[in-house]
Chains A and B, each alone.
Chain A
């Protein structure tokens, strides 16, 4: 306890991989060096991640007797200032995100102290307010490298209780009563699974923790292991005792080197403390845990494939039954649970099943950790009671789309899940409701998408993923996904026919219904849900050959052209301008947009948001560019010659007369193009001058009438007759 609440200042630096990627290591070394050089009386500890990834690196500071304060976006250059403040017994309030006065670790309760009225409490911050931390109870507060800190917050006490009570049946009853369900995605009741396993009679039984978190977009397991590895071990040791297993295996992705490192260290510490080995806690129970690194195969998240992988084979699934609880690793009874399931065990044992099932919905008890990522303002790991509506995730915790842009859809459950449109954000997030919408909760990834994301491309992305991760064993999955990918490629290239959508839908159902394992059975979910909820986007790709989001590159000339309401050929006039061919640039502009000088003053230039140049420095403002081109010609003596040149593009006369009602921007543009097609056009306008809203609604200082007159002149030069002061129905 003296380590957590020392009688001197304590500084904790959030050192998960994501913190490290944001510069936490530099910050930690900065603190270590400064403290070493100046000989400050402080305790410095690396801690795990508190979950608010968008505000990393997070640093927590506590002065004796005071609340713990979490500082956000701490840079190495802030270190000296923080240390100065701490030495003067102050908190650098400018950097403060929130404070914690007391914390319920569930297995222990910590009182930090009260104070700092100006800093909000952690659960007053919108990002944390709806959250409830059960799985992440210790994350970001204790050092993952130090077993003593875990023990200080009540760690391993649940294990002790289980071993002292020596009543494994009771523990299983508790887990059953808590209604805890597997957190890997399928949501099978954990207590029932444990009971099967306990009843299986065999000389050797295995426990496996599935930490092969392959779902792109989900990283809660990485963070849990990196921040609080001992809680995983405690859950597994309890499971080992209850299910009479002697060996536990944690199958971790090799892509998570820090998690592997910290877990290995935790296992070593647990062995030294007698929590693993031949005689756990001196109670005559033998159990050990080893770590195996997966080698980058998504399908190994499927339990039978994972077992094949551990046995030294390629990770190809086997048909079930027999279930692993009957015949698993090396033919022995085997229990496989997801990382997060194991994290729930100790709190259930400590606080009882009734307490656990208070949280969450009727059928889905407890909480789940979700990774809220993509186009959302607040990204991070959030632990929410099950049954919380999606809109709470997106708009309360996430505080809406990134850059304040509207959210279009969310994708839940990774490649096995589906897309849910914005209209359905009232949906409570639990196992059953998501399944009804064709999605799944899966490992808990929530990827937010906005108007820049093409749903056809999203479907293609996931099918491409499962296509390359399919193990190739069963035909529906192997061939079906390949065919689906080809069809989707045709969509993104504008080459899909009218029947393609039905074909895709049928193919998806076939793969879902006929595949051998979970990968194939769920792989079409992203496809089927996007077809169900975003059918219009698919139809746009077929009929209009248009990708509104501008993602499918073959359907768009360039992102700016695609986002322009007029589809101006931006690359063409930009290149002409760059080569000094101003007159040709003007022609190119006018043919796409007969009112270039007016729009050059009043356009909202949506193309800015899509400008590729933004990834280098800032967007090129196309409004200014075509305004420059138009002004340069309109105000020069070349206007006459150019107007003639454009007029010469008129097709031979059709001898047809067309009347256009109203000389607003639409009427003028229509007249211009009709004249180019060879028709004889007359525009009738009730006002005294042409221009419509451009002329009468936009003030002079924003759009001078002289500019409109120039453009009207150009349209007249096409042979268009404009009669003003004529009201249709009254005068004619």
Chain B
């Protein structure tokens, strides 16, 4: 956290939304997770900016360190802006045995990311520099009978192959024009 502003700068609408969300969850088990989930979902770029975290810490009367710890621990939370389109590749066991790693590599190439990460790990969440696409992996969507599964902008696609994935990308690109 490198923000130096003593008073976090948030849009008024944003502040009001966070206030309402905190009010609805406060005092219940799982409140912090619920608040962070709702606030991230509400953000147009689906992430939690530093200022937002600071504001939540202030309003929920929790140490910022604890909120930062939670926001970085769980895979769901993003601290960076997400792309206009999110493609999420399932890396569950059934998908793995049916070739989801090839799909991941293909997408990495198509979107211009390095083919392999340095430590050889497959878990990732990256966004293209133009902010158009985010590519991420999930442990399992629980759609194993449809393996391999890819989620494109929250729609589940089953029995995906490289060609289908390529077509899907083209469709998204045409949507831009």
Contact = CB atoms under 8 A, between A and B. Distances in A.
Given A297-B73, A312-B66, A449-B97, A292 B156 contact: no
* Range class of the B interface residue count: 35 or more
A646 interface: no
A550 to B, nearest CB: 12
B94 A314 contact: no
A255 interface: yes
Contacts of B95: 216
A418 B138 CA distance: 21
Given A53-B146, A218-B142, A313-B70, A294 B157 contact: no
B10 interface: no
A21 B146 CA distance: 8
B33 interface: yes
A486 to B, nearest CB: 9
B163 interface: yes
Nearest to B164: A615
A589 B35 CA distance: 64
A313 B121 contact: no
Contacts of B29: 206, 247, 249, 290, 292, 310-311, 329-330
Contact of A373 (B69, B145, B154): B145
B69 A314 contact: yes
Contact of B139 (A214, A251, A449, A471): A214
B122 to A, nearest CB: 6
Interface in A94-132: none
A140 to B, nearest CB: 14
Interface string A238-278: 00000000010101011111000000000000000000000
A312 B37 contact: no
A295 B94 contact: no
B34 A217 contact: no
A373 B93 CA distance: 9
Interface residues of A, number: 72
B97 A292 contact: no
B158 interface: yes
A411 B97 CA distance: 11
Nearest to B67: A312
A294 B145 CA distance: 23
Interface stretch (A192-200, A459-467, A665-673): A459-467
Nearest to A316: B73
Interface string B120-137: 111100000000000000
Nearest to B149: A21
A220 to B, nearest CB: 9
Nearest to B163: A616
Contacts of A296: 74-76, 138-139
A213 B138 CA distance: 13
A380 B145 contact: yes
B128 to A, nearest CB: 22
Contacts of A445: 93, 144
A309 interface: yes
Given A214-B139, A465-B139, A615-B161, A293 B34 contact: yes
B14 to A, nearest CB: 20
Contacts of A219: 140, 142-144
B89 interface: no
A485 interface: yes
A408 to B, nearest CB: 11
B101 to A, nearest CB: 9
A222 B142 contact: yes
A447 B33 contact: no
A374 interface: yes
Contacts of A21: 143, 146, 149, 156-158
A17 B76 contact: no
Nearest to B160: A615
Given A255-B138, A309-B33, A467-B121, A54 B93 contact: no
B55 interface: no
A247 B30 CA distance: 13
A314 B93 contact: no
Nearest to A253: B142
Contacts of A309: 30, 33
Contacts of A254: 37, 76
A296 B123 CA distance: 12
Interface in A304-319: 309-315
B116 to A, nearest CB: 10
B77 interface: yes
A485 B117 CA distance: 14
A337 B156 CA distance: 29
B62 interface: yes
A312 B35 CA distance: 10
A375 interface: yes
Interface string B90-129: 0111111111001000000000000000001111000000
The 4 A-B residue pairs whose C-beta atoms are closest, nearest first, are A53-B145, A292-B30, A219-B142, A216-B92
Given A290-B30, A447-B144, 5 more contacts: A206-B29, A294-B33, A296-B74, A379-B145, A447-B97
